[in-house]
Amino acid sequence: MNKLKIMSVFGTRPEAIKMAPVIKALEEDEKIQSIVCVTAQHREMLDQVLSLFEITPDYDLNIMKAGQSLGEITTRALIGLEEVIKKVKPHMILVHGDTSTTFAGALAAFYQQVNVGHVEAGLRSHNMYSPYPEEMNRSLTARLSNIHFSPTKGNEENLLKEGIEKEKIVITGNTVIDALLQVVRKDYKFEDERLNQIDYENKKVILLTSHRRENLGKPMENIFTAVKEIVLENEDVEVVFPVHLNPKVRDLAYGILGNVERVHLIEPLEYEPFANLIGKSYLILTDSGGIQEEAPSLGKPVLVLRTETERPEAVKAGTVKMVGVEKEAIYSVASTLIHDKKCYDKMANAINPYGDGQASYRIVENIKNYYKI
Ligand code: UD1
Ligand code: UDP
């Protein structure tokens, strides 16, 4: 039989990180022809990951524009992907998670009557405007998918409640763990000397990231002001903030935290140093999805700068806490973790509800089962 043509479609940094191990597993399988198509909804942040994992896309739609709107991303991706799918005629496309690239990819494949496999399927916050537009992107992608690769049992349950047949769902673990295990090392040294010079043993290093659309404006202002107050009041606290390339995030970050002592505003880090920085930090403050999955397996407490999460597993286990986006709440919970060792130790447990690092292989095996090869 001819090889099974599987085309992976993604466009942003987190999708690339979480799809990289899947692409490697597809490439290793002699029954499969792996094709990679990026929309490049992100440019520099995507390219960092492609180069780390040595992935050269077969197709690159290069759609990113500064300050792009959701409608612009979706239409540019949809039109570009239609052309590529017509040309490649894959047996199946794989999309990941919840971005506008994900939804456009699934829709473009559906229009060409091509099967869709959804990696990281079934996460739900049950609030259509938070995370926005990711919750809706995930739900719509589920409707368009033929096979759903769910990281956890809870994710499967969400899909079953929406009427998706059990035989179309496979619980795989999250591929982020596959990626993380490849890059984190105890003796890791940063290329950026500023990061090597930080005293991770004696200082309490807070790693901060924030980029969510629903946090732009006032919520982000609250977050950055709370962080500023925490640093100014605690001489042993240092903050590292790799600032997302979104100009709206950058303006606020540099405006509020730009000249604050012991706050290091740096460019987005490549995945390898970033993952190792999680491992060396004391505490993580973030509105990111992926970081909520990575930090618990490295035993680092996470305060989630959001009002909900579609990742309840680590919250239940006690290593992740939802603190919302009000200044007082962020200030107060972070201060407790800085001063109260008992409270900190209770949260700093290495738990990993997201898998054993073999998710990518399970995905590939189940794609082959689907086609009975
Ligand atoms: C997107 C995803 C979000 C995901 C996030 C990961 C959607 C709607 N949003 O949000 O789900 O969590 O990526 O970071 O799909 N930019 C650059 N270079 C880059 C990347 C971004 O300059 O490499 C700037 C551009 O000005 C761009 C802006 O950031 O217009 C926002 O990018 P966009 O993809 O629209 O939104 P994100 O907030 O990154
Ligand atoms: N990340 C990175 N460099 C950074 C910040 C984050 O490589 O400077 C990684 C992080 O380890 C995680 C992913 O990017 O795997 C999360 O991306 P992001 O927060 O942009 O998106 P989300 O997960 O919220 O969709």
Distance 201 CA to ligand 2 centre (A): 24
* Model pLDDT, residue 1: 65
Digit-coded pLDDT (tens) for 26-76:
999 999 999 999 999 999 999 999 999 999 999 999 999 999 999 999 999
Residues near 356 by Cβ (< 8 Å), separated by ≥ 6?
Answer: 173, 177
Give the closest residue (by CA) to ligand 2 atom 14: 14
Distance 223 CA to ligand 2 centre (A): 18
Digit-coded pLDDT (tens) for 288-345:
999 999 999 999 999 999 999 999 999 999 999 999 999 999 999 999 999 999 999 9
Distance 345 CA to ligand 1 centre (A): 35
Separation CA 86–CA 20 (nearest Å): 24
Q: Which of 108, 87, 125, 97 is nearest to 312 (CA)?
A: 125
Q: Determine the average pLDDT of the residues in 104-114.
A: 98
Q: Determine the average pLDDT of the residues in 248-270.
A: 97
* Model pLDDT, residue 4: 98
Pairing of strands 4-10, 59-60: unpaired
- The verdict on whether 311 is a catalytic residue reads no
Per-residue confidence at 90, pLDDT binned at 50, 70, 90?
Answer: very high
* Model pLDDT, residue 148: 98
Exposure string (b/e) for 37-66, b if CB count within 10 Å is 16 or more? bbbbbbbebbebbbebbebebebbbebbee
Would the pTM of this model clear 0.95, i.e. be above it? yes
Q: Is the pLDDT of residue 251 over 70?
A: yes
Distance 344 CA to ligand 2 centre (A): 24
Alpha helices in 89-217 (DSSP H): 100-111, 134-144, 153-161, 175-183, 193-196
Q: Which residues pair with 94 in a beta bridge?
A: 8, 117
Digit-coded pLDDT (tens) for 171-200:
999 999 999 999 999 899 999 999 999 999
Per-residue confidence at 350, pLDDT binned at 50, 70, 90?
Answer: confident
Of the listed ligands, the closest to the CA of 17 is 2
Q: Per DSSP, which regions of the chain are E strands?
A: 4-10, 32-38, 59-60, 92-96, 115-119, 147-150, 169-171, 204-209, 237-242, 263-266, 283-286, 302-304, 320-322
Separation CA 238–CA 195 (nearest Å): 11
Q: Which of 130, 138, 126 is nearest to 98 (CA)?
A: 138
- 120, 178, 270, 287: the catalytic one is 120
Rg (CA), the chain: 20
Q: Is the pLDDT of residue 152 over 70?
A: yes
- The verdict on whether 135 is a catalytic residue reads no
Of the listed ligands, the closest to the CA of 137 is 1
The enclosing H or E element of 231 equals helix 218-233
Output the ligand 2 site: residues, CB below 6 A. Answer: 13-14, 17, 209, 211, 242, 268-269, 271, 274-275, 288-291, 294
Q: Helix 271-280 to helix 175-183 angle, to the nearest 10 degrees?
A: 80
- The verdict on whether 294 is a catalytic residue reads no
Which whole-number Å values give the CA distances from 272 to 107, 189, 210, 367, in the listed order? 32, 10, 19, 29
Separation CA 196–CA 199 (nearest Å): 8
134 in contact with ligand 1, CB cutoff 6 A: yes
- The verdict on whether 120 is a catalytic residue reads yes
Write the Ramachandran bin of 56: left for phi over 0, alpha for psi from -120 to 50, otherwise beta. beta
Q: Which of 215, 202, 177, 227 is nearest to 20 (CA)?
A: 177
Q: What percent of the chain has pLDDT over 70?
A: 100
Digit-coded pLDDT (tens) for 132-151:
999 999 999 999 999 999 99
Per-residue confidence at 349, pLDDT binned at 50, 70, 90?
Answer: confident
203 in contact with ligand 1, CB cutoff 6 A: no
